[in-house]
Amino acid sequence: MPKKFPPEFKRDVVRVARRGDLTKAEVAADFDISVESVSRWCRQADVDDGVKDGLTTAEQAETVRLRRENRRLEMENEILRRAAAYFARDALPK
């Protein structure tokens, strides 16, 4: 599982990478992270700042939240459907 970095740390890395003094590889080595992480964080910062098109961090978080809620509601519906079928079976005349 990937390591979670705080948003402040990511902002600092992006700020240093955007200055242009160092290459992304040098920035990654200075902060002891991968070059791909620096690239990904810079791309996401561009989207968040409106420079590029795409889903912002807030939109991604909302999508994740809604998908989890949807999954939970689907499980609750399935439980209720099974409970209704169980009780309906007991209510049939014998």
pLDDT one-digit tens code per residue, 26-81: 999 999 999 999 999 999 999 999 999 999 999 999 999 999 999 999 999 999 99
**Number of compact structural domains in the chain:** 2
pLDDT at 91: 73
Which residues, including other chains, have CB under 8 Å from residue 47's CB and lie 6 or more apart?
A: 53, 54, 55, 56, 57
The domain in which residue 83 lies consists of 55-94
The yes-or-no verdict on residue 89 having pLDDT over 90 is no
Same-domain status, 22 and 43: yes
The terminus-to-terminus CA distance of the chain in angstroms comes to 55
Same-domain status, 50 and 60: no
Same-domain status, 6 and 50: yes
Q: Would you place residue 94 in the very low, low, confident or very high pLDDT band (cuts 50, 70, 90)?
A: low
User: For residues 94 and 48, which has the higher predicted lDDT (pLDDT)?
Assistant: 48
User: For residues 94 and 86, which has the higher predicted lDDT (pLDDT)?
Assistant: 86
